[in-house]
Structure 1
């Protein structure tokens, strides 16, 4: 069994990891496909296509070049449909129990998502998860789609945690690339929008659930609570 010893901190991804939203993602993607005359796709097809940056991903999906104006329209169209379906989405299996167990075992954790910050923070609070995270960061831009690496650098710096003692848990290759860039480790889960072969190709361990992913970690014991733990209180920076 994979073991990532002496892990002090987990940086969680949101969409497809803690938040189960695959059906909303596929419906939103298919609204874009319909607008461009492209046949609808399934989740399995989207898993073979998805990558960041998203502009290039959608160019492959639609079979055409896209200007920035096209991308702005696609981004807006996607998110309108996705937001409409948010009430039908739920937390992933094992949430919040797994997160509470990790904290009880002495680990700290935070949330870094490429979902918009001003929408992410109230969602986390509505699900009663805010007290589990030392920090919650989302995307602070009007249009998304870029890589996660620079956001992870800033997130870890604000927390004051050592990347070498940090594991990123996410559902896409971008999470592994961001972790490698920051000097952290990563566990990928198959619950989101990328196929297992694509995840395995990163060289990161791949789990089929967040429960399995966390079972591979062993928290580093500390005499004093870390800044990232923040006494178990959430600090949603904004």
Structure 2
């Protein structure tokens, strides 16, 4: 496959922020009198939809209660979202892909305006043709957004690769018939990235040889 387009995930893929999600979740757990989690626990159990993950942690809620708790979680995240660093070698890979004339996009389960604010903060927006986030706070709808992105920019699945860090990215890649690279430095541990058709990379630097 000659790669002409990359669709990047954001959280955990380009941004090294898994630890921040753990810290904020522990604040939320403590408020509810529930046990705290470690980073290893998080990477072993985090999943989509996020409501399912919260239930795994012991939260009990109605839809309205979840929306309220999740909004509080995201407000705390927004106040701290500029603390994490880019993933190691993120700039190396972005720069290499640009030199190869590969078009790059960001597609995230983060809310769109929050995503734009974050991308601009790290001063890497110039690498991307388009940056797209979801229109809700529940991380829902990436597959449809991926299809819309492909149509908007006239992208072909066989020339496109999705790069992410969770099995949500596998569903996105399948929805648009694209290739898939999964990095084991984000929100899932490597053992959970057991996707036969994916290239599994320990770090972003491992992606560079795959783009040649």
* 1:22 and 2:18 are equivalent in the alignment: yes
1:115 alignment counterpart: 110
> TM-score normalized by structure 2?
0.93
Return 5+ residue gaps in structure 2 as ranges.
Answer: none
* Separation (CA, whole Å) in 2 of partners of 1:197 and 1:25: 20
> Any runs of at least 4 consecutive aligned residues in structure 1 with deviations exceeding 6 A, and if so which?
none
1:146 alignment counterpart: 140
Equivalent position to 1:205, from 185, 199, 202: 199
* Separation (CA, whole Å) in 1 of partners of 2:76 and 2:144: 28
> TM-score normalized by structure 1?
0.83
Give the Å deviation of 1:174. Answer: 0.3
Give the Å deviation of 1:26. Answer: 0.5
Deviations 1:116-161 (A, max 9, x none): 21122132223221111111111222x2232521221112222211
Give the Å deviation of 1:74. Answer: 2.2
* Separation (CA, whole Å) in 1 of partners of 2:186 and 2:175: 22
SS in 1 for 2:82: helix
- In the alignment of these two chains, the number of paired residues is 212
* Separation (CA, whole Å) in 1 of partners of 2:175 and 2:52: 21
Contact preservation (8 Å) 2:93, 2:207:
no
SS in 2 for 1:137: strand
Deviations 1:166-189 (A, max 9, x none): 100001100011101211111100
Go from structure 1 to structure 2 and tell me whether the alpha carbon gap of 1:51 and 1:112 turns closer, same or farther (over 3 Å shift): same
* 1:57 and 2:53 are equivalent in the alignment: yes
1:36 alignment counterpart: 32
Contact preservation (8 Å) 1:55, 1:145:
no
* Separation (CA, whole Å) in 2 of partners of 1:46 and 1:208: 18
Contact preservation (8 Å) 2:193, 2:200:
yes
Contact preservation (8 Å) 2:166, 2:193:
yes
Return 5+ residue gaps in structure 1 as ranges.
Answer: 219-238
Deviates more, 1:86-95 or 1:131-140: 86-95
RMSD of aligned residue pairs (Cα, Å) = 1.6
1:69 alignment counterpart: 64
Contact preservation (8 Å) 1:13, 1:171:
yes
